[in-house]
């Protein structure tokens, strides 16, 4: 049969995104900072847009304390780590006091230690508090001098206390041996260790930092809460869009009317209207998601993150009658302010693990539980992933060992063998004995 060219006409359904729809979807994904930048730029180039700047622009100078959505400061991070440790109350209190009085570089000043002693803190309690603080990350924090800072970092990297002290004592020699095989061999003979061990320590020395806290790292990053949750009279909550620190735009109605009369600037006016429409769509979508969260995650807002329920983007999309990709765009780079704490919207979406509750338990809650277990473990006999899995099974959570490992790694917590090695390498607090 011969093949002949032919022309056929058929109909099919497809989705064609108009420029206005593309603008709306783009703005929906944008973070508050990106929206602010876009609004400001459009107002500069489009004569039909009138711009009103906020007192403090998003991403600019630090916002007031009740508006600034800050990432955790160094002090807040250290305090959180200390809360996770199984410490006597007095030791935790001393450690938190010391953390609050660290220098900008993360060192303990002698004046601070003298002040603690003057206020009746015993040497034993003070040393225990220092030891607890020095177990925190970044490695080296809470050191009293450079030698101790570097020693702590080497212990954290896996050297035992004696090897770390020996390495710091010959620091310049180790540094000079980098890339020098003959020098490393000579140093190995002098210290009575293998050349492999020398090479290992040379690599560790290369990564040492004289300041455990960098000034740039100590400055908290600003984040913006797109939604705010506040208590209402009674036991309820209300969610609102946070517009206070975003620039506002509106159409210059006088110029728009003149443009229609004189037939000029049609494209610019249409673009201005499209941007306003996209901003309205973004706000309505975020408000709808916030309302859904209040209804379905009430216990989270009332009682805390351990009460988070499993929730998927698909379920929210179905309830709000939108496509799941719309929810994904709306959630990306957005946050909600609850009781002064900023939560990424992505936190609220987690899979369900089987448990005694017919709805299951949120993976986010299980991950927090794993972190708590590890924080309360005996450092010298840390919990293995198998032990954590068994403990969670006893609590009614049906979870696989590989899932426990995934959640642990997601919190950047090393395996039990590494945690044990680090604990044994750290110098024991004064007046205590390490387990055999």
Maximum mean pLDDT: which of 183-192, 285-294, 396-405, 425-434: 285-294
pLDDT score of 320:
93
Dump pLDDT digits (tens) for 197-245.
988 888 888 888 888 886 444 444 436 789 999 888 876 889 999 887 7
pLDDT score of 2:
55
pLDDT score of 427:
62
Dump pLDDT digits (tens) for 87-142.
888 898 889 888 877 877 888 878 778 877 877 889 999 999 999 999 998 889 99
- Distance from C-alpha of 83 to C-alpha of 377, rounded to nearest angstrom: 13
Residue 184 has pLDDT above 50, yes or no: yes
Pull the structure tokens for residue 81. Answer: 């780590």
pLDDT score of 128:
93
CA 384, 386, 390, 392 torsion-angle sign: positive
Strands 341-344 and 248-251: unpaired
Q: Please, are residues 285 and 277 in contact by the beta-carbon 8 Å criterion? A: no
Pull the structure tokens for residue 62. Answer: 């630090």
- Please state, rounded to an integer, the average pLDDT across all residues of the chain: 81
Write down the pTM of the prediction. Answer: 0.54
pLDDT score of 223:
60
pLDDT score of 288:
95
User: 353-425 in CATH: which number?
Assistant: 1.10.10
Weakest-pLDDT range from 62-76, 300-314, 418-432: 62-76
Dump pLDDT digits (tens) for 320-378.
998 877 888 888 878 898 887 888 888 888 777 887 666 778 888 898 899 999 988 89
183-195: average pLDDT: 89
Q: Which of 211, 268, 204, 349 is nearest to 45 (CA)?
A: 268
Domain boundaries, the chain: 74-218, 222-349, 353-425
Res. 151 pLDDT band, cuts 50 70 90: very high
pLDDT score of 9:
53
Dump pLDDT digits (tens) for 261-273.
888 888 889 899 9
3-state secondary structure the chain: CCCCCCCCCCCCCCCCCCHHHHHHHHHHHCCHHHHHHHHHHHHHHCCCEEEECCCCCCCCCCCCCCCCEECCCHHHHHHHHHHHCCCCHHHHHHHHHHHHCCCCCCECCHHHHHHHHHCCCCHHHHHHHHHHHHCCCCCCCCECCHHHHHHHHHHHCCCCHHHHHHHHHCHHHHHHCCCCHHHHHHHHHHHCCCHHHHHHHHHHHHCCCCCCCCHHHHCCCEECCCEEEEECCCCCEEEEECCCCCCEEEECHHHHHHHHHHCCCHHHHHHHHHHHHHHHHHHHHHHHHHHHHHHHCHHHHHHCHHHCCCECHHHHHHHHCCCHHHHHHHHCCCEEEECCEEEEHHHHCECEECCCCCCCEEHHHHHHHHHHHHHCCCCCCCCCHHHHHHHHHHCCCCCCHHHHHHHHHHCCCCCHHHHHHHHHHCCCCCCCCCCC
pLDDT score of 66:
35
40-44: average pLDDT: 90
Q: Which of 164, 134, 133 is nearest to 150 (CA)?
A: 164
């Amino acid at each position: 049969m011969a093949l002949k060219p032919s022309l056929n006409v058929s109909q099919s359904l497809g989705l064609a995104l108009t420029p206005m729809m593309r603008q709306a979807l783009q703005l929906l994904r944008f973070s508050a900072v990106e929206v602010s930048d876009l609004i400001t730029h459009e107002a500069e180039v489009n004569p039909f847009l009138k711009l009103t700047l906020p007192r403090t622009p998003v991403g600019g100078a630090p916002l007031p304390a009740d508006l600034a959505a800050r990432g955790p400061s160094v002090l807040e991070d250290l305090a959180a780590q200390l809360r996770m440790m199984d410490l006597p109350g007095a030791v935790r209190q001393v450690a938190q006091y010391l953390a609050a009085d660290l220098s900008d570089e993360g060192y303990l000043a002698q004046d601070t230690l003298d002040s603690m002693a003057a206020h009746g803190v015993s040497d034993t309690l003070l040393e225990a508090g220092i030891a607890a603080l020095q177990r925190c990350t970044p490695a080296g924090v809470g050191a009293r001098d450079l030698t101790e800072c570097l020693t702590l970092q080497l212990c954290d990297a896996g050297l035992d206390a004696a090897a770390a002290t020996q390495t710091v004592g010959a620091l310049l020699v180790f540094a000079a041996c980098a890339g020098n095989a003959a020098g490393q061999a000579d140093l190995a003979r002098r210290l009575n260790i293998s050349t492999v061990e020398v090479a290992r320590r040379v690599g560790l020395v290369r990564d040492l930092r004289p300041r455990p806290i960098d000034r740039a790292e100590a400055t908290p990053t600003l984040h913006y809460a797109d939604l705010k949750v506040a208590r209402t009279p009674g036991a309820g909550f209300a969610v609102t869009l946070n517009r206070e620190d975003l620039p506002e735009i509106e159409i210059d109605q006088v110029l728009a009317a003149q443009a229609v009369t004189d037939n000029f600037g049609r494209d610019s006016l249409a673009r201005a209207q499209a941007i306003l429409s996209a901003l309205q769509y973004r706000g309505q979508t975020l408000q709808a998601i916030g309302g859904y969260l209040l209804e379905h995650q009430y216990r989270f807002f009332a009682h805390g993150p351990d009460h988070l329920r499993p929730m998927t983007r698909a379920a929210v999309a179905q309830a709000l009658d939108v496509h799941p990709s719309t929810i994904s765009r709306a959630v990306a780079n957005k946050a909600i302010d609850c009781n002064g704490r900023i939560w990424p919207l992505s936190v609220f979406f987690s899979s369900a693990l089987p448990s005694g509750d017919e709805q299951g338990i949120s993976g986010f809650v299980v991950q927090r539980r794993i972190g708590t277990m590890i924080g309360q473990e005996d450092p010298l006999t840390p919990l293995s992933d198998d032990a954590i899995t068994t403990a969670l099974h006893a609590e009614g959570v049906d979870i696989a060992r590989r899932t426990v490992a995934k959640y642990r790694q997601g919190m950047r917590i090393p395996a039990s063998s590494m945690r044990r090695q680090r604990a044994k390498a750290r110098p024991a607090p004064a007046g205590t004995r390490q387990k055999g």
